[in-house]
């Protein structure tokens, strides 16, 4: 069916995650949703993740070939997953009688910096996308990938990166942004762990940033940063139902809960450094080297005593090899230090904008964890978040206990 394009039509960017395109039936279901939106008179751009666990499988394959896969080649490999799913969705749209075209990130004009496996989107020049929309087509864009003009190479955006593709496309096209996944929105805790977790109607950008940074993987951190920077509201909702999801938007002026959500992550590795020289420049040398290796550092703690410092910091599991290399490099300037890696920790956090004006949240959190006999290893705070690193074994128990203690469940 050819649909006459109208320039004043609204544009929507719809993003579907891996579980939403995991098999041919689901791909047909996604195509149906796109066609329904098109038939309502909307210009439709969809960006999709790789099918199911494809990215994990490709990573395993790379690991079976090489202990340290070359980052450029890793991006060549990983970016294929999203090309497959977006071509398949385009085929399914054709079968429903509509015109569709799929583009790689580079064809869609997604320009990134040259950092392989965690590139940042610099700009989008979506000429081909706009042209295809003007012709009345449904446009599919392979998520999670872009292209660097500096190196002329394919890049990928980091795990969960299709969320960032969606937000950046919505900003470039002046479109609304809908992120579809296997959960119907953002909840007070991971609904897989807490049975009575409650769906939140609205979450501010600020709270969503803290939630994403502390492990609520329903939205990728970088995508939320882009949404806040570009003022793109996100509607996070279910692929498999029509119910209203969660709006992530500027919530200024709204009454804000003291605690909105409990988040967790089981992905932390702590580097505990001892015998760090207690003099100006030691921490700078260490974290300069770590930053140059593009390692995402989370919690940092330093203690000084007996002429030397102890410094601990946590990094995501995938950044461990880069952090090790960075620490070797730092020792060339500060001298030898003692390094211990602690890999059996996880993190539980409370997030809430109302915390800022209500003291006592941290104390109640520590009391709740103590009552569960859970030991705290590291604590870190922001004005609207308190995080504790605890034994990984106890993370789920801690999430449930905190959700209960702060009364976050269904009323």
Kindly list the residues in this chain that would bind ligand ADP in the complex (CB under 6 A).
Answer: 17-20, 49, 160, 181-183, 186-187, 189-192, 216-218, 261
Instruction: In angstroms, give the least distance from the CB of 9 to ligand ASP.
Output: 27
Which residues in 11-30 contact Mg ion (CB under 5 A)? 17
Q: Could you tell me the two tokens for 105?
A: 């990130």
Whose Cβ is closer to ligand ADP: residue 104's or residue 263's?
263
List 143, 245, 316, 346, residue binding ligand ASP (CB under 6 A): 143
Cβ-in-10-Å burial (0-12, 13-18, 19+) of 352 comes to: buried
- Taking the complex as a whole, how short is the minimal distance between the CB of residue 209 and ligand ADP, in angstroms? 13
What is the Cα–Cα distance from 61 to 64, expressed in whole angstroms? 5
Identify which range of 48-56, 209-217, 260-268, 379-387 contacts ligand ASP by CB under 6 A.
48-56
| Window of 98-106, 158-166, 268-276, 325-333 that interacts with Mg ion by CB under 5 A | 158-166
Please tell me whether residue 160 binds Mg ion under the rule CB under 5 A.
yes
**Residue 126 within binding range of Mg ion, rule CB under 5 A:** no
Contacts (CB under 6 A) with ligand ASP, residues 49-108: 49-50, 55, 81
Residue 159 makes contact with ligand ASP by CB under 6 A: yes
CB 224 within 8 A of CB 365: no
158 contributes a contact to Mg ion by CB under 5 A: no
Q: How far apart are CA 42 and CA 29, in angstroms?
A: 18
Per DSSP, the three-state class of 218 is: coil
Residue 85 or 282 with smaller CB distance to ligand ASP: 85
H or E element in which residue 239 lies: none
162 binds ligand ASP (CB under 6 A): yes
E strand or H helix that includes residue 361:
helix 361-371
Residue 316 binds Mg ion (CB under 5 A): no
- Phi and psi (nearest 5°) for 307? 80, -5
C-beta of 330 vs 351, nearer to ligand ADP: 351
Q: Answer left, alpha or beta for residue 302, where phi above 0 means left and psi between -120 and 50 means alpha.
A: beta
- Tell me whether residue 95 is exposed, middle or buried, using C-beta atoms within 10 angstroms of its C-beta: 0 to 12, 13 to 18, 19 or more: exposed
Site for ligand ASP in 7-46 (CB under 6 A): 17-18
Please give the helix or strand (H or E) that residue 28 lies within, else none. Answer: helix 24-39
183 binds, among Mg ion, ligand ADP, ligand ASP, none (CB under 5 to 8 A by kind): ligand ADP
316 binds ligand ASP per the rule CB under 6 A:
no
Phi, psi for 342 (deg, rounded to 5): -115, 110
Contact 69, 61 (CB under 8 A): no
Residue 57 Cβ vs ligand ADP, minimum distance, rounded to whole Å: 14
Specify whether the CB–CB gap between 138 and 47 falls below 8 A: no
With CB under 5 to 8 Å by kind, the binding choice for 159 among Mg ion, ligand ADP, ligand ASP, none is: ligand ASP
Q: What is the CA radius of gyration of the chain?
A: 23
Residue number with CB closer to ligand ASP (3 or 29) = 29
Phi first, then psi, for residue 308 (nearest 5°) are -140, 165
When the beta carbons of 218 and 390 are compared against ligand ADP, the nearer one is 218
What is the closest distance, in whole angstroms, from the C-beta atom of residue 219 to Mg ion in the complex? 7
Nearer to ligand ASP, 105 or 143 (CB): 143
Strands (E) located in 125-174: 138-142, 145-148, 153-156
Q: Which one, 17 or 69, has the nearer CB to ligand ADP?
A: 17
Report the distance separating Cα 174 and Cα 155, nearest Å. Answer: 24
- Are the CB atoms for 332 and 200 separated by under 8 Å? no
User: Closer CB to ligand ADP, residue 308 or residue 349?
Assistant: 349
**Number of residues near ligand ASP (by CB under 6 A):** 12
CA atoms within 13 A on the CB side of 243: 14
CB of 218 to ligand ASP, least distance (A): 12
Q: Kindly list the residues in this chain that would bind ligand ASP in the complex (CB under 6 A).
A: 17-18, 49-50, 55, 81, 143-144, 159-162
């Amino acid at each position: 069916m050819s649909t006459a394009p109208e320039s004043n039509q609204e544009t929507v960017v719809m993003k579907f995650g891996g579980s939403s395109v995991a098999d041919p039936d689901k791909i047909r279901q996604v195509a149906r949703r796109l066609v329904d939106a098109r038939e309502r008179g909307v210009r439709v751009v969809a960006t999709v993740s790789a099918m199911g666990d494809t990215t994990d499988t490709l990573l395993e394959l790379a690991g079976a070939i090489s202990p340290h896969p070359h980052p450029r080649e890793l991006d060549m490999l990983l970016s294929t997953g999203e090309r497959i799913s977006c071509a398949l969705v385009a085929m399914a749209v054709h079968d429903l009688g509509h015109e569709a075209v799929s583009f790689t990130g580079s064809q869609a004009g997604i320009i990134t910096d040259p950092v392989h496996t965690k590139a940042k989107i610099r700009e989008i020049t979506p000429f081909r996308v706009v042209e295809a929309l003007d012709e009345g087509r449904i446009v599919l864009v392979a998520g999670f990938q872009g292209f660097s003009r500096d190196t002329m190479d394919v890049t990928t955006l980091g795990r969960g990166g299709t969320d960032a593709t969606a937000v950046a496309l919505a900003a470039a096209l002046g479109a609304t942004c809908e992120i579809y996944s296997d959960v119907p929105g953002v909840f007070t805790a991971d609904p897989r762990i807490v049975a009575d977790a409650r769906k939140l109607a609205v979450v501010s950008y600020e709270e969503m940033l803290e939630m994403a940074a502390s492990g609520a993987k329903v939205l990728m951190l970088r995508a939320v940063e882009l949404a806040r920077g570009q003022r793109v509201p996100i509607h996070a909702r279910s692929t498999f139902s029509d119910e209203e999801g969660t709006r992530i938007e500027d919530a200024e002026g709204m009454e804000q809960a003291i605690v909105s959500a409990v988040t967790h992550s089981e992905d932390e590795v702590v580097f505990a450094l001892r015998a760090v020289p207690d003099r100006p420049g030691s921490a700078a040398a260490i974290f300069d080297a770590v930053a140059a290796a593009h390692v995402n550092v989370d919690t940092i703690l330093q203690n000084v005593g007996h002429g030397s410092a102890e410094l601990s910091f946590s990094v995501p599991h995938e950044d461990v090899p880069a952090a090790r290399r960075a620490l070797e490099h730092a020792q060339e300037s500060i001298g030898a230090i003692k390094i211990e890696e602690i890999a059996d920790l996880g993190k539980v956090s409370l997030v809430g904008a109302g915390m800022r004006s209500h003291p006592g949240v941290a104390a109640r959190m520590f009391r709740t964890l103590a009552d569960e006999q859970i030991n705290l290893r590291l604590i870190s705070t922001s004005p609207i978040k308190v995080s504790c690193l605890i034994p990984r074994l106890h993370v789920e128990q801690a999430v449930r206990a905190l959700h209960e203690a702060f009364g976050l469940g269904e009323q």
